[in-house]
Amino acid sequence: MLDVQRLDVIEVKNTLGEGVQWNAQDQSVWWTDIQESRLYRLQWPSRELEVFDMPERLCAFAFTDQADCIIAAFASGFALYDYRAGQILWQKVLLSADSGMRFNDGRIDRHGRFWAGTMVEVGSEDARAALYRLDPDGEVHCMADGIQISNGCSWSADDTRFYFADSPRRTIYSYDYDADSGAIGNRQVFARTLMNRYPDGATVDAEGYLWSAQWRGARVERYAPNGRSAGVVPLPVSQATCVAFGGKDMDLLFVTSARDSLPEWTLGRERFAGGLFVFKTPFRGLADSRFAAGALLEVQLHEAKLHSA
């Protein structure tokens, strides 16, 4: 067990809390409740909470260089979204309503490219999900396919490895990663989880260790760069969904969780299910990049002028 101290649980009772990340510019932690189509912002350490309604399920997001604007992976595709004005500034829909899929986990790499993968929804046996990369010029690239549930996008501290999990297969993969081009290849198995323990959202710390929230596993597991377990943060809830480092010194671990699919008798036992957990750790995380929304909006404006000419 890792030497961490639980500081707080923010009892928001999320149906499916996900995508947690730290905004260093205003010292706040953000996450989404996918099933309720809501975006959360928690000022830290004052604990002032804001909640923004989304136009559809917000599955993943990243911060941008524009005020009040996120790059979003909504259920149907990518969008630049002004969360205070409630306005979509740019959009690229990739999934139809009858596709049997929705977007799921996503993160931004250190070069400002936004990665997000899809998942097969319950009852969609013929659907096959995929992993996509959105570049700042608005181009979308399919990076992998044949996936069931995309999760755990993260990059090694030295920017040479890309990590990705397919949750139902209980497998975390490692790819060779070209930081300049964003290309991935040479997929290998990095780690496998035990039966009924599914790798979910992930992040990498400054030492290059991977932290994986484990759905139904009541834990966050830390993996060494060789894929071996390097310790566990146990949780009083079964459905951990995502992890992120933050705080002034980047030594706080934030963990989202879910109430979704839990029977009533389990909810009675898991009082904090759907809450945001905050831990003090002896480890430090790495700061996230921002998406160049301004550049993408300029591309959109240029294309609009060409079409109107």
Q: How many domains does the chain have?
A: 1
* Residue range 121-130: mean pLDDT, rounded: 82
pLDDT tens column, 11-49: 999 999 999 999 999 999 999 999 999 999 999 999 999
The pLDDT score that the predictor gives to residue 302 is: 67
Does 122 have pLDDT greater than 90? no
Q: Which domain holds residue 83?
A: 5-308
pLDDT tens column, 132-157: 999 999 999 999 999 999 999 999 99
CB atoms within 10 A of CB 2: 17
pLDDT tens column, 165-198: 999 999 999 999 999 999 999 999 999 999 999 9
Judged by average pLDDT, the poorest of 123-137, 215-229, 274-288 is 123-137
What rounded mean pLDDT belongs to the chain?
96
C-alpha distances out from residue 125 to 58, 196, 215, Å: 23, 20, 21
The pLDDT score that the predictor gives to residue 249 is: 98
Does 74 have pLDDT greater than 90? yes
Beta strands, E only, 156-306: 161-166, 171-178, 183-192, 198-204, 210-215, 219-223, 229-234, 240-246, 252-257, 276-280
**pTM for this structure?**
0.96
Alpha-carbon 221 to chain mean position: 16
Collect all residues with Cβ–Cβ distance below 8 Å to 58 and sequence separation of at least 6: 19, 32, 34, 37, 38, 39, 72, 73, 74
pLDDT tens column, 216-264: 999 999 999 999 999 999 999 999 999 999 999 999 999 999 999 999 9
Q: Which of 62, 97, 100 is nearest to 78 (CA)?
A: 62
| 215 band by pLDDT with thresholds 50, 70 and 90 | very high
* Residue range 58-81: mean pLDDT, rounded: 98
Query: 170: domain CATH number?
Result: 2.120.10.30
Q: Which of 51, 53, 52, 54 is nearest to 12 (CA)?
A: 51
Does 79 have pLDDT greater than 80? yes
The pLDDT score that the predictor gives to residue 309 is: 61
| 210 band by pLDDT with thresholds 50, 70 and 90 | very high
Report d(CA 84, CA 35) in Å as an integer. 20
Span between the terminal Cα atoms of the chain, in Å: 64
Percentage of residues of the chain with pLDDT beyond 90 = 91
